[in-house]
Structure 1
Amino acid sequence: MVTMFRGPRWKIAVYGRDHGVPHFHIEGPDFRCSVAIATFELIVGTVPTAVLKDALEWAGPNQALLMQTWQELNG
């Protein structure tokens, strides 16, 4: 697992040996979700709207880095 970004009480992480479409996780103390890297669509799980907004603000300009990291860990 690689933590890509940390928010105030949440983080964006990419896991190795993960399945499905390339995705990242947004995790906090009371929530966890998976988001597709290519489309930024929520795949599964829950996340507060404000956290999703903040996470996607970081993910947008870092989409290539997220994909590269996912491929390195799951290639």
Structure 2
Amino acid sequence: MPIICEFWGFKVYMYYQDHLPPHFHVRGRGTHAVISLPDGALLAGDLPSGIASHIAAWVQENAEALMENWRRARCKEPLLKVPSPKRGV
């Protein structure tokens, strides 16, 4: 499960050939969440207060790169790093 981004004490992962709908996993600060693509909605798990909206904004800023990584993961191709958000929490 490759790490595609790290920020604010969280790591963002995508699994190769993961199930639909398109999504990624966020782990850190004692939590695990599954976030949908391309909208950034919380599908499962939980995030600390205030973080979900920042992650949703990050998804919107990087939707194209995240969806390309989803395509790559489904095809077992190497994943690319996605830029970290510009502001911290």
Bin for the TM-score computed over the shorter chain: 0.7 to 0.9
Letter of the structure 1 residue corresponding to residue 49 of structure 2: T
Contact 2:6 2:12 (8 Å CA) reproduced: yes
> Runs of 5+ in structure 1 lacking a partner?
none
- List structure 1 segments (4+ residues) > 4 angstroms apart after TM superposition: none
Contact 2:39 2:60 (8 Å CA) reproduced: no
Contact 1:12 1:55 (8 Å CA) reproduced: no
Question: Which residue does the alignment assign to 2:22?
Answer: 22
Contact 1:14 1:66 (8 Å CA) reproduced: no
| TM-score with structure 2 setting the length | 0.71
Q: Which has the higher helix share?
A: 1
* C-alpha distance in 2 between matches for 1:40 and 1:56: 4
User: What root-mean-square deviation, in Å, do the aligned CA atoms of Structure 1 and Structure 2 show?
Assistant: 1.6
* C-alpha distance in 1 between matches for 2:51 and 2:71: 25
* C-alpha distance in 2 between matches for 1:57 and 1:22: 17
How many residue pairs end up in the alignment?
75
Letter of the structure 2 residue corresponding to residue 46 of structure 1: D
Q: Which has the higher strand share?
A: 1
| TM-score with structure 1 setting the length | 0.82
Q: Percent identity?
A: 24
| Alpha-carbon spacing, 1:11–1:51, altered in 2? closer, same or farther (3 Å) | farther
Answer with 1 or 2: which has the greater Rg.
2
Question: Which residue does the alignment assign to 2:85?
Answer: none
Q: What is the 5 A alignment of 1:1-75?
A: 1-75=1-75
> Runs of 5+ in structure 2 lacking a partner?
76-89
